[in-house]
Structure 1
Amino acid sequence: MPLRILPLLSVLAFAGAWPIATAPAAEPAPAPCIFCEIAAGRTNQPAREVYRDDLVVAFMDRAPRNPGHVLVVPIRHAENALDTPPATTARLAVTAQKIARAIRRTDLRAEGFNLQSNSGRAAGQTVFHFHVHVIPRFAGETPAGAEKVAAAPADLEAAAAKIRAALVSP
């Protein structure tokens, strides 16, 4: 007579003597990435975009360290610098330089710049989509100073308009 194991396992499981493997609980869907939403134009918050091409988008930081603070972001999601394709990383660097030069041509009067990226929680990354900050700097301020403060939408739009105009002028 053949051994019938399946019914025995069912009885043991029903009695609590044998655990039945269950499917793992579904993980909650991750929150949408705000930079992916901005890059795709799916946010109801105006991003005050200053530049876009096939790989990157640049827009005003909503809580700038200084007037003219811009974020340069890859359109395709990558969590940090180590996850970003080399061609995209190169484009981010070139775009950050282009944005800094444009800011210098405006009346924002930046005397220097920080090009900054934090990769990983230990480095201070808070939005886990790779990005580069272009932060205008001014004489007399401590480079690490100037805490982020939410800017008025009109101020962001005015700075964005100046930077966009400077990007198209030589």
Structure 2
Amino acid sequence: MPEVQIAQIVASEFSNGLPDCLISNPQREVNMGVKGLQLCANSIMPYLLFFGNSIADRYSTHAEQYNQNINSMGHGVDLRSKSLGNTYDARNLLSTNTIKTYEPIREIIKVPINHDKPYIWNDNEQALDEYISLVADSLTDENSSLFKAIQMTANHLLIDRHK
């Protein structure tokens, strides 16, 4: 449920100290961070669920109620890294397998890991839909570094499961 996960991470009362809406540059007068992504995801999820399932028994509770307990904090990992240290390079917080995914994603979207600036700094610097499309395309491209990293992790998990 990505809309719920995004809603959790953009709300400061649930993000464990991250700024509201993951706004990286508080000096900018107008900067909505990823709140627009959260609102968009929340508005399209009913349609996506409707086409595959009955909306009456499948749609989750509205994301703004913050009552979901499964939440990925990955979206704010750069900001979390800065709040715990002096760098936006989040690799110091990630597992070895997660780093193998984190680095290829940053390569694919052409936003290099930067010690002084997080992935999202100002709203007008990037279009998240373009990034999402690039990552989605890489997930099915067997030659992409992201596909290979995920495949290695999946194989590792399968091996561990059979032990």
By the TM > 0.5 criterion, same fold?
Answer: no
Which has the higher relative contact order, 1 or 2, with Cα contacts under 8 A spaced 6 or more apart? 1
Give the structure with higher Rg (CA). Answer: 1
More strand by share: 1
TM-score normalised by length of structure 2: 0.29
More helix by share: 2
